[in-house]
């Protein structure tokens, strides 16, 4: 479980394709302080398990299902990733509950810059439309964000300069693929309402 508050960005140093999927070596600094093998870590919104630690890098394995469902299929050496360690009981919940289970990918449609923030517009596939609510929460590439507006086939969020500076978003552009995880509480609620069976 995560909060969607990015701790730092990391850089892919090695990439190895294998029959199970892909192994990555990711360089980081801050999160390595107490990171251990078998810990969960959010890499641009994808929950991955640390398989090895070496020097200033940690290693993760991505299976084919993860590659198919997320934008990890496009990750290359030197790709920067948003990193967050898993939630502790003592962690302040500054964002919202994030599982790191990406629902799908969406593309950036438009970016409008103003003095205090940038408004980013994203495509909204039909399968996630019911989960997109104005002023609700959404996780985009690992970042907890508030939905500013919902339109017919798109939605927008506003990013302040600080968020842009400390995450990978400063390098994002129109057309880029973004991992999206909708609010898990909305999914649970839909499942409960749709299931009329008594316990």
For the segment 36-89, what is each residue's pLDDT rounded down to a tens digit?
A: 999 999 999 999 999 999 999 999 999 999 999 999 999 999 999 999 999 776
Residue 140: per-residue pLDDT:
98
**Any residues with CB less than 8 A from the CB of 164 and at least 6 apart, and which?**
118, 170
Which residue is listed with tokens 């909204």?
124
The reply to whether domains 8-85 and 104-192 share a CATH topology is yes
Determine the Cα–Cα distance for residues 82 and 7; give it in Å rounded to an integer: 8
Rounded CA-CA distance 30/13 in Å is: 17
Collapsing DSSP to helix, strand or coil, 162 comes out as: helix
**Torsional class of 141: left (φ above 0), alpha (ψ -120 to 50), beta (otherwise):** left
Average pLDDT, the chain: 92
> Which of 64-73, 84-93, 114-123, 128-137 is the least confident region?
84-93
Burial class (CB in 10 A: 0-12, 13-18, 19+), 126: exposed
CATH number corresponding to 8-85: 2.40.30.20
b/e per residue 13-40 (b: at least 16 CB within 10 A): eeeeeeeebbbbbbbbeebbeeeeeeeb
Stronger pLDDT, 188 or 34, i.e. the higher one: 34
Confidence of residue 194 (pLDDT cuts 50, 70, 90): confident
CATH topology of domain 104-192: Elongation Factor Tu (Ef-tu); domain 3 (2.40.30)
User: DSSP secondary-structure letter at 67?
Assistant: H
pTM reported for the whole predicted model: 0.91
Taking the C-alpha atoms of residue 33 and residue 25, their distance in angstroms, rounded to an integer, is: 17
Q: Which residue has the tokens 């030197």?
A: 78
pLDDT range class, residue 199, cuts 50, 70, 90: very low
Q: Distance between CA atoms of 145 and 79, rounded to whole angstroms?
A: 22
Residue 177 has phi, psi (to 5 degrees) of -90, 135
Contact 94, 55 (CB under 8 A): no
What are the residue boundaries of the structural domains of the chain, listed by start? 8-85, 104-192
Residue 32 makes CB contacts below 8 A (sequence gap 6+) with 53, 56, 58
């Amino acid at each position: 479980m995560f909060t969607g508050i990015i701790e730092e960005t990391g850089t892919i140093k090695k990439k190895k394709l294998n029959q199970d999927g892909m192994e990555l070596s990711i360089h980081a600094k801050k999160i390595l302080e107490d990171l251990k093998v078998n810990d969960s870590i959010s890499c641009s919104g994808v929950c991955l398990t640390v398989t090895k630690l070496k020097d200033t890098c940690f290693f993760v394995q991505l299976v084919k299902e993860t590659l198919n469902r997320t934008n990890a299929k496009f990750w290359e050496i030197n790709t920067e990733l948003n990193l967050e360690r898993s939630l502790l009981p003592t962690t302040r919940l500054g964002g919202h509950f994030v599982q790191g289970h990406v629902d799908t990918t969406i593309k950036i449609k438009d970016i409008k810059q103003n003095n205090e923030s940038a408004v980013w517009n994203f495509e909204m596939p039909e399968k996630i439309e019911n989960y997109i609510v104005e002023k609700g929460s959404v996780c985009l590439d690992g970042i907890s964000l508030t939905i500013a507006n919902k339109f017919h086939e798109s939605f927008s969020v506003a990013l302040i300069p600080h968020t842009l500076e400390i995450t990978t978003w400063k390098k994002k552009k129109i057309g880029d693929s973004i991992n999206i995880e909708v609010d898990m509480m909305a999914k649970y609620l839909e499942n409960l309402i749709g299931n009329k069976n008594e316990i």
